[in-house]
Structure 1
Amino acid sequence: MDLLSLDIFRTVAQEHSVTRAAERLGRVQSNVTTRVQQLEEQLGTALFFREGKRMQLTPAGTTLLGYAERLLSLAEEARQAVSPEHPMGRLRLGAMESTSLVRLPQPLAQLHADWPDLRLELRTSPSRQLIEQLLAHEIDAALVAWPPPGMDADELSVDCTPIYEEALLLALPATHPQVASARDLELHTVAAFTRGCTYRQIGEDWMRAGGRQQPQVIELASYPAILACVAAGSCAGVVPQALLDQLRAPPALQWVPLQPCTTMLVTRQGFATPAFTALRNALLASANVRAESATASVS
């Protein structure tokens, strides 16, 4: 059960296909198939259900994937630890969609210019899902709106560094009567990302503060879709001011200030590879809040 076999197994699990896994790894399909079969023979159990060309994890495969993520993550951390003066290798970063669109282009470009041997992989998800991926060793660091909804922030074994302070706005149709407080709101629906999004939670909490019941939610996958839905006149939406500032032609909507929200750079407790340090330094150079590390531990 060597690291190479585990990496091949993980890639097949991610791609659900030997063909796509082989392409991604730069290997021939027969080699990938053989490696998976050898791993199954060593463990004495099937790791995949074969549904035509599609590969689905068995219960045993799902269990192994969690261990494989942790073992490969630790191996990468070890490789980087022996070259502390030269950030290199792979670093997996998760971020909210708005952060990746507005905040990350400049610091990530600088990071690549300073350390061309560092390979950064970026994925986007709502904050709670990013924390779950981080704790499962599926990513190495995440930029999340703090605190993540549905989680006890004091019970998370993570290290946090505040990076950005975001001013949040409630977007309303231009035809909506002027809103000074939640009591003035006439809409009962909010367009937002899937559950686990901190901005969505803030919007829902604000709408309930007007004495109304839980608002209905239209779940969408992008800010353009959210703004288009608001412009159609049927719902509200929550948007960070920084994203609105990036638009060449902001939509003609009514904007109501909400509470500010801090974007934290979060890692597993004690994670400190040269690659992560380089990323952290690049983000701090673009930060709009003072850098103060804070750690929460599982008791």
Structure 2
Amino acid sequence: MDVTQLEMFVAIVDTGSISAAARRIHRVPSNLTTRIQQLEASLGVQLFIREHQRLRLSPAGHDFLSYSRRILALIAEAKQAITGEEPSGTLRLGALESTAAVRIPAILAEFNQRYPRVQLDLTTGPSGEMIKRVLDGSLSAAFVDGPLSHPALGGIPVFDEEMMIVTPSSLAPVKRAQQVDRLPLYAFRNNCTYRHHFEAWFAADEAAPGRIYEMESYPSILACVAAGAGVAQMPRSMLEIMPGSSQVNAWPLSDAWRWITTWLVWRHDAQTRQLHAFTQMMPPPERPD
């Protein structure tokens, strides 16, 4: 097993085919095929499942991908440390949809200006999915809901989000969950920690949402609430930038549930120069009085 084989393996995963990977790393496809077969032979496992001229990762391949990315990142970091060059390469970040829309655009723009040799790759999704991708090595770091709990992860708190219950404009002010007991709820998928937070708010007041409708975006959630179809929860920072926010009412959750801290997290063993530079630009969280 050598570095070139790892680069080939990762390129095939990233591009989805041997031919595309060959073009990316300037090799002929037959060379990649031979080198990957040699890599599999040296490991004693199949990294890909081959079906009708298509490749998909085997279970062993998924595990090996995490290690491959980390090894290649460490090699790149070592080269940069020795040569003294400024950060370069790709920094793959994940973020909650609200964080990507409101909190980090200015930070990403400043990072691009300060480190033009680093290519930023941003993916959005719920916290559970982002943490999984940080752990498997496909993301360098991610903005997720705190607090930090996984032993393999390091991180820093970066933003405090004020959580609001969003209701139809016809509904009276809401101060507790009992007032919206059994009303339909609009939320993201079940791996969204914001959703878990909202359901816990209901449970703490011995109430429960009615039917939960899973949506894919904040605009669709807001549209349903504005139509009088149910209630939702979202950060104040996100609500304030959305068209249509004037068509709903919004009230802060009770004090124990009002704030959620967003963290930037990464693997302890996968720090890179690009990531270190990025973390140095993070502001400390500031909670309004």
TM range (shorter): 0.7 to 0.9
What does 1:23-34 correspond to in 2, within 5 Å? 25=25, 29-34=29-34
Aligned partner letter, 2:167: L
CA displacement, residues 104-147 of structure 1 (integer Å, 9 cap, x when unaligned): 11111111111111222222222232223222222222211113
CA displacement, residues 71-116 of structure 1 (integer Å, 9 cap, x when unaligned): 2233233233335562222222221111111111111111111111
CA distance change for structure 1 residues 95 and 38 in 2, over 3 Å: closer, same or farther? same
Aligned to 2:216: 221
Aligned to 2:142: 142
Q: CA RMSD in A?
A: 2.7
Aligned to 2:11: 11
Gaps of 5+ in 1: 291-299
Q: 1:238 aligns with which of 233, 241, 252?
A: 233
Aligned to 1:289: 286
Asked if the contact 1:92/1:140 (under 8 Å) is kept, the reply is yes
CA distance change for structure 1 residues 278 and 226 in 2, over 3 Å: closer, same or farther? same
Asked if the contact 1:208/1:214 (under 8 Å) is kept, the reply is no
Mean Cα deviation higher: 98-107 or 37-46: 37-46
TM-score (norm 2): 0.84
Gaps of 5+ in 2: none
Distance in 2 between the 1:21 and 1:171 partners?
A: 47
Distance in 2 between the 1:191 and 1:26 partners?
A: 48
CA displacement, residues 210-268 of structure 1 (integer Å, 9 cap, x when unaligned): 31246543222211122223233333222111112222442511212121111112222
Residue 268 in 1 paired to residue 267 in 2?
A: yes
Residue 49 in 1 paired to residue 21 in 2?
A: no
Aligned to 1:114: 114
Asked if the contact 2:73/2:270 (under 8 Å) is kept, the reply is no
CA distance change for structure 1 residues 101 and 229 in 2, over 3 Å: closer, same or farther? same
Aligned partner letter, 2:133: Q
Q: 1:164 aligns with which of 153, 159, 165?
A: 159
Distance in 2 between the 1:44 and 1:227 partners?
A: 52
Count the aligned residue pairs.
283
Asked if the contact 2:94/2:124 (under 8 Å) is kept, the reply is yes
Distance in 2 between the 1:222 and 1:80 partners?
A: 39
TM-score (norm 1): 0.82
